[in-house]
Amino acid sequence: MEKAILMTMAAAGLVALAGCGSHVPSNQAAAPTSSPSQPSSSSPTPSAPTSSVLPSQSASATLASTVAHLSAKGIVLMAPTNVAVKSITRTSASNGNYDVHILTQSGIAASFGGQNYGTSSQASNQLQQLLIVSPGTGSPLSLGSGITAHAYPKQALITWTEGRWNIEVSGAPGTNLSILKPPAQQIASILHRVLLPDTTLGVLNWAHGSNGQDSIDLSWQAGATVYWANENHDGEASIPIDMAASMKAVPTP
């Protein structure tokens, strides 16, 4: 049964947990409710951070190796296998979490990582805090690819579900749905060919920023861990979606 939902977003900051103890997408259009902190969070700064900038010719080949050598005990380290990496611009890690920032060959800045919350219920609670229930069921909106979404003009929201994933395309209040429908259609088309990670709860949000910067964030649960992949400047949906879909565990030394 589809759930009509609206993701809360932090007003600024990176889209990933960025090495913090929790995660909330940035550039969210909706008014925030009580939500977990993320890059702009009050969580402790990760200890023993590492950073690297790799030459373009070697970055793709060494991405998994770089992640494997992060000092992040207590978490299964994962890295995307389907991303054209130009360079690894920043990494951070501490016990239970890690965050990796990359620049793609097309010049798009993106990031991925994970945070272990100790228990499955606590991980689920972190994701639940990203969601609020929208009033009613909205109006049906065909996106093609066999997808009929729920549209909420007053809330500037288009939402639908893909298995246990909640998909949301949102804007600031008053944003016309004509602005939000094209990216919603693009995401629906991408998800027609890409299988998102198996999860007990996943959230994908594409947010139209009032400053002209669009963002896309994917966060999903795997046991006690929440993983994420995002891009928070260009709203380039295919890159973080392909990253999330191709995340694989990397062997640690």
pLDDT tens-digit map of 239-253: 999 999 999 999 877
Task: Tell me: pLDDT of 190 over 70.
Answer: yes
Residue for token pair 């060919």: 193
Which residue type sits at 143?
Answer: L
pTM score of the predicted model = 0.77
For the chain, the domain total comes to: 1
| Domain interval for residue 78 | 5-249
- Cα–Cα distance between 231 and 244 in angstroms, integer? 11
State the DSSP code for 44.
P
* Residue 64 phi, psi (nearest 5): -65, -40
**Torsion region of 216: left, alpha or beta (phi above 0 gives left; psi -120 to 50 gives alpha):** beta
| CA distances for 21 relative to 106, 117, 120, 121, 223, angstroms | 30, 8, 15, 15, 16
The confidence score (pLDDT) of residue 145 equals: 85
State the DSSP code for 153.
T
Place 61 in a pLDDT band, splitting at 50, 70 and 90.
Answer: low
- Cα–Cα distance between 142 and 133 in angstroms, integer? 21
Closest by CA position to 44, among listed 26, 21, 25, 24: 21
Least confident of 28-42, 76-90, 150-164, 235-249: 28-42
Residue for token pair 């620049």: 103
Mean pLDDT of the chain: 79
Is the C-alpha dihedral spanning 49, 202, 231, 81 positive or negative? positive
pLDDT tens-digit map of 123-159: 999 998 878 567 788 999 999 989 999 999 989 999 9
Neighbouring-strand partners of residue 190: none
Task: Tell me: pLDDT of 238 over 90.
Answer: yes
- Cα–Cα distance between 108 and 143 in angstroms, integer? 26
- Cα–Cα distance between 87 and 222 in angstroms, integer? 27
